[in-house]
Amino acid sequence: MARVVLALVPHPDDLEFYADGTFARLIAEGVCGMIVIATNGSKGSYESEAEPLVRIRRAEAQRAAAVLGAESPLMLGHQDMELEKLAPDVLRDQFIRLIRQHKPDVLIAQDPYGLFEPHPDHRAVAWAALEAARYAPLQLVHPEHRQSGLEPHFVTEKYWYANDTTHANKIVDVSETIERRLAALAEHASQMASMVAGTLHQASLAGLDPAAVLGPLAGNPAAAVASALRNQAAEVGARIGVPYGEAFRYERFDPLVEALLAALACA
């Protein structure tokens, strides 16, 4: 059984939006859950000023992690919406160090091969996470890490999430943890309000009655977002005949090793 699951995400609420049911399920099975957030979340609002928002989102992330039973999240503090300005190796090297430090058995991160991802922070973290998982086992990559006791480490299971699930090859049954996922998401109150405000603003621009778009949930941002995510999880779960699911492009070993394991299983 896995002992450590490490989630590498761009913003404080991303894990809850995409993969928190799986993360919560692993924690419920006795795994230590760790969340690393690349940015300070300073741009995710239509109203708040940046500096107060940073403090608000840090507190929200801490409360959400507590709901899940995870460790307090580590925030790397890079500027929101500016990860593409970093040198290409900055995030990758930080992630390699974290993988070697915490030695996760499972990694959860955005899939860089996922289609239709508009957010530059998401794309930056996705590629950095993929590269870090690939090169953290190589001892000649950052050999100086060994001077501080950090040895190369191979992450056995990789769960890559995406907006578009065309390349998904694994669906995790999160029926028993969907409520915990939504409870953790509700702690990100600033983001729920921002999302609903954006939707209602677009409805107004389109000449629609904002109240007709979300109905009775228009005044309850957390409930509106939870309803949408519950419906999405139900659609994914229906693919494998369970109430709720989350989809991933799942990787484990090198294809040659996987082929040999499959052959042994059939022998």
Give the tens place of pLDDT for each residue, 203-242.
888 888 876 776 666 677 788 888 889 999 999 999 999 9
The arrangement of strands across the sheet holding 32-39 comes to 74-78, 32-39, 4-9, 106-110, 157-161, 245-251, 170-173
pLDDT reported for residue 47: 67
Q: Which token pair is 101?
A: 């430090």
pLDDT reported for residue 52: 86
Q: What is the mean pLDDT of residues 104-132?
A: 96
Q: How far is CA 121 from the centre of its chain?
A: 12
Q: How confident is the model at residue 24 (pLDDT cuts 50, 70, 90)?
A: very high
Q: How confident is the model at residue 8 (pLDDT cuts 50, 70, 90)?
A: very high
pTM of the model: 0.92
Instruction: Give dist(CA 84, CA 93) in Å, integer.
Output: 15
> Where in the chain are the domains?
4-266
Q: What is the mean pLDDT of residues 156-176?
A: 95
Q: What is the mean pLDDT of residues 112-119?
A: 92
Q: Is it the case that residue 161 has pLDDT exceeding 70?
A: yes
Give the tens place of pLDDT for each residue, 53-92.
899 999 999 999 999 999 999 999 999 999 999 998 999 9
Query: For residues 142-161, b (16+ Cβ closer than 10 Å) or e, as one string?
Result: beebeeeebebbebebbbbb
Q: Is it the case that residue 5 has pLDDT exceeding 90?
A: yes
Q: How confident is the model at residue 2 (pLDDT cuts 50, 70, 90)?
A: low
According to CATH, the superfamily of the domain at 4-266 is LmbE-like (3.40.50.10320)
Percent of the chain with pLDDT over 90: 72
Are 33 and 26 a contacting pair, CB within 8 Å? yes
